[in-house]
Each structure stands twice: as structure tokens, then as C-alpha cells.
Amino acid sequence: MDLSYTAEEEAFRAKVRGWIEANKPQGGARPGIEELRDWQKRLHAAGYLGAGWPKQHGGGGLSDLEQAILNEEFAHANAPGALGSMGISWVGPAILRFGTEQQKQKFVPRVLSGDDIWATGYSEPNAGSDMYNTQTRAVKDGDHYIINGQKVWTSLAHASNWYFLLVRTSTDGHKVAGLSLFLVPMDTPGIDIRPTPMITGDREFSEVFLSDVRVHQSCLLGKAGQGYEIVSSALINERSGIAAGIRFDQGVQKLIATARRFGLDQNPSWRERIASLAIQAKVMKAFGLRVLSDQLHGRFNPHTSAAMKCIATRLTQEFSETGVEMEGYYGTLFDVETSAMNDASSTWSGRYLSDRAMTIAGGTTEIQKNIVAERILGLPRR
């Protein structure tokens, strides 16, 4: 296997690196929503968003390898992600795959430009891992649907103007056959968003109540009954995005800096622990390169994203646990009140708290293990 890059690829890398250096938002505190929206517009104008999407829908038309270089350089520079990352990672690809031509024209360019920010509404009080149990109902009424129900854990609901919403359109036959996916404007009358504070003090989540929400049938993505298929393909993108988004190289450097600051860098047991995490980070990188190589050679198994998510999210928790332990008493000094203004992930204690969520978001570790067992290892279903 040849892991080196060609001269053209290295030139592309240098161009991306220079661009990020000149354009990256400055300052230590976490950028606000408007600053992130502006950052997204600049990324889009440079052709660095929707890198693999078709050019006719505003994508960058880059190869898989160029996308990988792009991701590496953004991680290297510790540049922030786009505000509309959910739209870019899975809503846009789902519309490109299942949408009508009219839906593609209407939504895809605005997903990339940041003019539309999307939230995702799958989870309900009694339907998280068990999506088949989705209870939110959409009932046909002429050329409209009337939606009633409740969603939980909707990330960025308060900052979004569109909702990627999973509902039940039928109770006949197998539970999965009655699920459908709607593209719903967040300001439709009957949508009530109630924020749920997180342990870090962030207000990223909301409960969303839907009471007699009336949407036109043109808001249906794909066909009625195709919701589970759409969500399954979107979740594959979400899981690989979660795994790829974790920046282990910075984590290793940060652990080394913490060890130096607390005088632990000569201590053999801490050195061994950091070295072990650095090796696991390298293994994750090699895993990513193998997936990329499989993709380039047409051998890609989409369920690999379940394995990657499982390993990467547990590893990031080990990083933050190690950081907090090295800091000792200082590791407990996390101020929930100010964390929403500062970047919680910039402190080990903030990361420790927010990393708890990583093994749950996008499907829990137990569910990923079930997928690995059944879809990759071919073990019998329980």
C-alpha cells in the first residue's frame, strides 16, 4: 500500500493550508452563531463545503482523496466546523439521493451557503434506539399532512429554520413501513421549541412539540413509507462524521502540554499512558486511511462507520479522563455558568463532560456493536 501523496495532492494541501491560515476565525472564545454563519459562507465561496457533491448543485466536485486532505488540514489548523454541519453531513446528501429535482434546486445550495440551518428530529421519549416505535403522526388532509407529536434531544433546534423530521404516516403492516420523512419549516404554526440545558451549561438541545402542524405534501422527502431507509443512510453519514470530526492529533499535543504544566512529563506511568493514547490515535488514523483506500477501490462497507464511531468515541473519552486526572483538583474547576460563553471543549473538564454524550449521539455504542456483529461479522440477529 502506498501512503504517500502525489505532487498535485501536496500542492492542493498547501493551497488549502494557506487559505485556512488567511481566513480562519480568530480569537480563543467559541465563535457565535453569526460568526460561524459568515465562516460557512467563506468556506462555501472557496469551494470547500459539500466537497464531494455534484458541481451543478453548488458542490466543490472534489475527489475522495482531496476531501480527505481538506479534512486533515482543517483538523491540523483546529478550524471550527460549519454552523450548518448537520445539513451538510446528512440532510443535503439525503435530499440529493431521495429528493425531487425541485427539492434539490430549492434546498441544496442553501444548505451549503448557510442560508438554511437544519435540525434533525428522530428521537422521541419512547423512540431513541428503537426508531421503529416512532409515534409522531402525520395524517393526510387533502394535499397537506397534519403532524402531531413530540421530539426530544433536537440539537440546534433554536438556531435552525428547517426540520428534518421523521414521522409515522401509517400504522398498517410492519412498523418500519409506516415511517416517512418530512422537510418542515421551523416557523410553521404549531411548532413549540423548549430548550433543555446540558451538563456543560450549553443550550444545544431542545424538546420540540408539534401540535396540528400543517405541511404541504411537497415537503415529503422520497415516498411515504421510505422514512426508515432515508434515516438509515443519513445515520451512516452522521456516524462517520462523528468519528472523523474527533481531532486526536490535537488531543495528544494537549495531553503532553498538560503533563508538562503539572510536572508529570518525566513520570513513567503518565508517559506510558500518554504514549498508549498516542498509539491508539495513530491506529484510528490508519483505520481512517484504510476506509479511504477501500472507498477509492470500490470496496467500501457503509457499516464500517458503526465500528469507527464506537472506537473513536470511547477513545476520546479516555483522552478527557486522562486530562482531568492529570490536572487533579484543578480538573474539577469547571464553571457551568460561563462555559456557554467560552469553549467548553478547550478545558479537559469541559471536554470530560461533553464527551459523555459522544457514545450516545448518532446511535449508542451498544447499537453500533449490534451493527458490527450483524452487518460486518455476519453473526446471527438476536
Nearest to 246 by CA among 292, 309, 290, 298: 309
Do 146 and 134 meet the contact criterion of CB atoms below 8 Å apart? no
Residue with Cβ nearer ligand FAD (160 or 258): 160
Cβ contact 310:365 at 8 Å: yes
Nearest-angstrom CA–CA distance, 129 and 364: 7
361 binds ligand FAD (CB under 6 A): yes
Residue indicated by cell numbers 429554520: 161
* Stretch 68-107: interaction string toward ligand FAD, x if CB under 6 A: ----------------------------------------
Nearer to ligand FAD, 103 or 120 (CB): 120
Q: Using the rule CB under 6 A, is 345 a contact of ligand FAD?
A: no
Tell the smallest beta-carbon distance from residue 355 to ligand FAD (Å).
Answer: 10
Question: Does 62 contact ligand FAD by CB under 6 A?
Answer: no
- Interface residues for ligand FAD in 116-135 (CB under 6 A)? 120-123, 128-130
Binders of ligand FAD among 141-200, rule CB under 6 A? 153-155
Smaller CB separation from ligand FAD, 86 or 315: 86
Q: Which of 124, 207, 238, 327 is catalytic?
A: 238
Pairing of strands 191-196, 179-185: unpaired
- Among this protein's residues, is 72 annotated catalytic? no
Among 364, 373, 374, 375, binds ligand FAD (CB under 6 A): 364
CA distances from 363 to 127, 167, 189, 367, 382 (A): 12, 18, 30, 6, 18
Nearer to ligand FAD, 149 or 363 (CB): 363
Q: Which is nearer to ligand FAD, 226 or 293 (CB)?
A: 226
User: Could you list the active site residues?
Assistant: 238
Residues that bind ligand FAD (CB under 6 A): 120-123, 128-130, 153-155, 357, 360-361, 363-364, 366-367, 370
